[in-house]
Structure 1
Amino acid sequence: FRPVQIACSVENRRWACTRLLSNAGMRVSFSVLAVTLCLQQGDAFTLPGLKGYSRSTVSRFPKGVWQRRPVGTFQTPHASLASETPTDVSKFEALPLPKHKGLDVGVLPNGLRYVLLPNASPKGRFEAHLELLAGSANELEEQQGMAHLVEHIAYMGSRKRERLFGTGSQTNAYTDFHHTVYYASCPVSLPAMPNDRTTMLDRALEALAEVLEARFEPTRLEKERAAVLSEMSMVNTIEYRVECAILQALHAENQLSVRFPIGLQPLIENWTVDDVKKFHTTHYLPKNAVVYLVGDLPPSQMLKQLTKIMGKIPATKEGGLKEGSKNVAQGLMSSMGFNLRGGGPSA
C-alpha cells in the first residue's frame, strides 16, 4: 500500500485526507479514510514547479519534506484550458443537461411533479417511485430522526400496499438527508389476467398515494418506534461510526453534520402521535413530491392513471409548506443521494 495525500476544500476549513490505494487493484479502503491535517484559512501546500494555487494542494516531496506557503493565484501552463473553465460555480446551474428523448416530465394541477419513461426491458414490469423532498436535513432541532420514523409509519401503515402481496411485486422505502423515497417494482399484469395492463399500476399508485394521506394511530407509532430503535442498535457498528465521523468532518459547515437520518434516541423515545403527524402535514404535500414511473407501459397510459389516482389529492393542508417556500435540503452543499445504512423499514 502507498499513502497518497488528497486535498479536500470546505469553506473555511481545508482538510487533507489520506487514502490507501492498492497497487494491485487500486481499491480504496473507505473504512481507513482518515482526516490527517487541518489547514488554517489562507495557507496551502504547493507542488514543485507550480506558481501558486488558489485551493489547498497537498503533495509529498522527496524524502517526505513538506513545503508550506500562503495561498496565491493558480497559474496553469495551459492558459486556454483555464480560460474555458468557469470560475463562478453559479454558472454551472445554467448549463443544459442532456435529456432522454423518451422522457415525459410535467406537473399535475395539484402541484405533483411526474417523470415518465417507457422501457421495454425487463419485459412486462414497471417501477413506481414516490420521492418526498423532505429528509433528515429538514428536521428541526427537536425533530432529529422524525423523517425516518414518519417513513416507517407511512410505509408499514399502508393497507393498500397489502394488495401488492403475492403478485410478484417488491416494495420498500428509505430516508436520506434530502428526501424520503417509497417505491414498488411490479409486473405489468397479473398471471390470471394477462391482458389487463391497468390493475397493477393502479394498485401501485394507490399504495403510493396513501403515503401522502397516511393515518397516524398510537399502536402503529409504538410498533415503528420500537423498529427504529432496534435499527439504531443494529447499525451502531465501528464502520457506521467511522462513516458518521467522516461526514461530520466533510460537512462541518452545514446541517448534514448534525442531521443523520437515524436520529437521536432520547427524542425518538418521547414523540407523540401529534409530533410525527405535524412533520407529515408540513412536508407530505403534492407540491413537495415527485412520482417516477418507468417500465413496459406507454407514457399516455401512465399519465392517465397517475392523474386519475394522484391528481385528486388536495394540493394543500392546514399547517403545510406555504406557497413559494423552499425546501431546506435543496439549498445545502452536500452529497446528494448518500444513504446511511438502516434507512428503510425492511433494510
Structure 2
Amino acid sequence: MLASACSKYKYETVSGDPLKTRIYTLPNGLKVYMSVMKEQPRIQTAIAVRVGGKNDPAETTGLAHYFEHLMFKGTEKFGTSDYAAEKPMLDEIERLFEVYRKTTDEAERAAIYHRIDSISYEASKIAIPNEYDKLMAAIGANGTNAFTSQDMTVYVEDIPSNQIDNWAKIQADRFLNPVIRGFHTELETIYEEKNMSLTQDGRKIWEAMDAALFPNHPYGTQTVLGTQESLKNPSITNVKNYHKTYYVPNNMAVCVSGDFDPDQMIATIDKYFGGMQPNPDLPKLEFKPEEPITAPVVKEVYGPEAARVML
C-alpha cells in the first residue's frame, strides 16, 4: 500500500506492472483504476458494474442488457424538459406494465398496451431524445458506448483531458439517478436484436456450448439477451430494484487511462461518486454445483453460415 505525499488518497500497485496502474478504493467501496499515458491529450474511461446476464431474475431474463440501453435515457436533470410533469406519466406506465405482465387474456393485454402506448406518447413530448449522447458530444467525447456480458456491464467514453469534471458530474448523475423513460419503444429495439440473434450461427453455438457446460448455472440456463417470453413481459419495477441492488459503489469500478494527474482525478471522482451509498447485502449467486463431465457432449445447431466446430 502506497500513499502519495501530496494526497490523502491511498492506493495499491502491482509489482512489475509496466503501466504503474494505481488502484484506489474509496470509503464507499468504489474501485478506481488509473494508468497515466501522455501520448495524446485524451482519456479512455470505463465504468464497470459487476453484474450481467447471469444475475437476471429468471422471470425477466435479458434485464441486465435491457438496463444497459435504458442508462442512455437520462436522469431527472437531463433527457427531459419538465421532469415534474413527466414523472406521473412514467409512474403510471410502470404500474400498467405490472398489470400487463400478469394478464393472460390477449384482448385485455392489447387494451393495456394501447393505454401504455398512449401515455408513452404524451410522455415522449416532454422527453429529450439522445440528450446524453449530445452532452458527451458537446464535451468532445468519442466512442460513446456500452456492452453487457454474463458477468459485467461496462460503459465507455473517450474524453478530452480538460473535460474530467464535466464527465464525472454527468456520469455520477447517470449512475445515481437514472430515469426509466422510452421504455416500451426501447424494448422493441431489444426485441429486434433478439430476433436477429436467432439467425447468428456464432451466437447459437456459444449458447449451445454454455448450455452443455453449465446445466445448473445461469451461464447455461439463461442468455444475456433473454428469452422472447421475458421480453414480451417486462417489468419496470424489476429494473428499478435491479439498479438499486447492483449499481452500487461496492459493486463498481471506474477505470481511466490517458493524460491526467492522478491526484486531481481521484479527488474529482471522489467528489462526484463518493456520496454513493454501498449495498452491504449484495446478493450471492446460488446454484447447484455441476456434475463432472465424464464423456464427450455433442450439440448441433443449424444456420445459414458455413459449417464450423467449437471445442
| TM-score normalised according to structure 1 size | 0.57
Q: 1:233 to 1:207 in 2, by over 3 A?
A: farther
Deviations 1:216-242 (A, max 9, x none): 33x421122111111112222241212
Question: In the alignment, is the contact (CA less than 8 A) between 2:73 and 2:179 conserved in 1?
Answer: no
Which runs of structure 2 are paired with 1:215-234 in the superposition (5 Å)? 215-217=178-180, 219-234=181-196
Q: Give the 3 Å change call, closer, same or farther, for CA 308–172 of structure 1 in structure 2.
A: same
Alpha carbons of 1:261 and 1:309: their partners in 2 closer, same or farther (altered >3 Å)?
Answer: same
Q: Kindly state the Cα deviation for residue 153 of structure 1 after the two structures are TM-superposed.
A: 0.5
Q: 1:238 to 1:115 in 2, by over 3 A?
A: closer
Number of matched pairs: 219
Asked whether the 8 Å contact 1:216–1:273 carries over to 2, the reply is: no
Deviations 1:11-54 (A, max 9, x none): xxxxxxxxxxxxxxxxxxxxxxxxxxxxxxxxxxxxxxxxxxxx
Q: Give 3-state SS (helix, strand or coil) of 2:212's partner.
A: helix
Q: Does 1:149 align with 2:107?
A: no
Distance in 2, Cα, partners of 1:98 & 1:234: 45
**How far is 1:214 from its partner?**
3.5
265-274 or 276-285: bigger deviation = 265-274
Residues 94-145 of structure 1: CA deviation (Å, up to 9, x unaligned): xx87544621111112221111111123x11101111101111112211311
In the other structure, the counterpart of 1:118 is 36
Q: How far apart are residue 292 of structure 1 and its match?
A: 0.4
| CA displacement 1:243-282 (0-9 Å, x = unmatched) | 2112222333532012211011211222232121111111
Given that 1:209 and 1:309 are in contact with CA atoms closer than 8 Å, whether structure 2 keeps it comes out as: yes
* 8 Å CA contact retained: 2:73, 2:178: no
**Higher relative contact order, structure no. (Cα contacts within 8 Å, ≥ 6 residues apart):** 2
- Return the match for 2:174 from 185, 198, 211: 211
Give me the whole-angstrom Cα distance separating, in 1, the residues matched to 2:145 and 2:170. Answer: 11
Is 1:165 aligned with 2:128? no
2:230 matched to 1:267? yes
Q: Which of the residues 266, 269, 285 maps onto 1:328?
A: 285
Aligned residues of 2:26 and 2:274 also touching (Cα < 8 A) = yes
Whichever structure has more helix as a proportion of its residues is 2
Can you give the 5+ residue segments of structure 1 that lack an aligned partner in the other structure?
1-95, 189-196, 334-347
| Equivalent position of 1:80 in the other structure | none
Q: What's 1:244 paired with?
A: 207
| Matched residue, 1:201 | 164
Is 1:131 the equivalent of 2:93?
Answer: no
Conserved in 2, the CA contact under 8 Å of 1:103 and 1:116? yes
Q: Structure 2: how far apart are the matches of 1:303 and 1:204?
A: 13
Equivalent residue number for residue 248 of structure 2:
285
Q: CA RMSD in A?
A: 2.6
Question: CA 1:172–1:298 in 2, change beyond 3 Å: closer, same or farther?
Answer: same
Q: Distance in 1 between matches of 2:15 and 2:228?
A: 41
Distance 2:19 2:204 in 1: 43
Instruction: Choose which of 138, 143, 159 in structure 2 pairs with 1:186.
Output: 159
Please tell me whether the aligned partners of residues 125 and 185 of structure 1 are also in contact (alpha carbons under 8 angstroms). yes
Q: Match of 2:150? A: 177
Q: Distance in 2 between matches of 1:147 and 1:223?
A: 17
| 128-137 or 200-209: bigger deviation | 200-209
Q: Which amino acid aligns with 1:328?
A: L
CA distance in 2, matches of 1:210, 1:168: 17
Q: Secondary structure at the match of 1:303?
A: helix
Gaps of 5+ in 2: 1-13, 79-131, 291-311
- Equivalent residue for 1:25? none
Cα distance in 2 for residues equivalent to 1:279 and 1:168: 28
Cα distance in 2 between the residues matched to 1:281 and 1:210: 14
- Name the CA shift for 1:153/1:307 in 2 (closer, same or farther; >3 Å): same
C-alpha distance in 2, partners of 1:269/1:155?
Answer: 21
* TM-score normalised to structure 2 length: 0.64
